[in-house]
Amino acid sequence: MTGASSGIGRAVAHALARRGATVIACARREALLQQLVEELGSDRHWYVVCDVSDLESVRAMAAEVAGRTDHLDLLVNNAGRPGAGLIAEATPEEVESVLKTNLIGGIWCTQLLHELIDASPSTPRLPAVVNVASISGRIPLPGAATYTASKFGMVGFSEALWAEMRNRDIHVTVVNPGLVHTEGFPMDEVLGMPLLRRLVMSPDRVAEALCEGVETGRAEVRVQRWWSGVYYLLFALGPYRRRLLRGFLRLVNKAVTTKR
């Protein structure tokens, strides 16, 4: 599992370990990975330091995993980073980093670990690939074009991968959470707004929804299911959805300004 050192990834590692899985945790920060493996409480769990935005790092990780196990039941592509802000203000290097971490890294991991996934014994729900995207992979996030593009890409990759893998008995699930309060995505301002704080979830809630999605074979997990209604409403509105999104953005900006 990538992005395991904090946030959703760390919560998923604990949720999987509670279910009896052997966790192979991947992330950039070794000290946090060591701490995580100690928390999981068994020497069957281990970690690999890996930066998914670097192809050679992903290749090294895949080689190490292949050297220690002959199959992989579940791949969770979870590594992610915040967006680069407004496209006119972001540097090309920031845009590249977002796309590599949030999208391309997951594609590389799936490619380079595919043989191990394919070698996993087939059960009704495993082997599986789980891609953690975002509700902004379905509903564009104003003011975060690069982040939105990366998540739309991950949703599209997941749907295409589902069609590609279905005849090989490999299940594919995409998880689309909404606002989640984590180290990388702090939601302190939103949590301070009475009208919006209920939109924010904990990483544990997302982790449980992810595991339940795998256990039930769901192709897509929207952790807060009311987002589905928002998605279909925006789809039905067609071009008028842009006016609604602009109005929502003005409301959020006004709330933030008032809070400050």
Question: Are 108 and 129 within 8 A, CB to CB?
Answer: no
Give the CA count within 13 Å in the CB-facing half-sphere of 117. Answer: 23
Strand partners, 201: 180
Nearest alpha-carbon partner for 142 in 243, 63, 9? 243
Count Cβ atoms below 10 Å from residue 18 Cβ, excluding itself.
12
- Give the H/E segment covering residue 253: helix 241-259
* Inter-axis angle of helices 30-40 and 7-18, nearest 10: 30
Catalytic choice (47, 147, 231, 240) = 147
**Whether 173 contacts 223, CB under 8 Å:** no
Per the annotation, the verdict on 232 as an active-site residue is: no
CB 148 within 8 A of CB 136: yes
Long-range own/partner contacts, residues 42-48 (CB < 8 A, 24 or more apart): 42/17, 45/13, 45/17, 47/4, 48/24
Identify which of 228, 200, 90 has the alpha carbon closest to the alpha carbon of residue 147: 90
Q: What amino acid positions are annotated as catalytic residues? A: 147
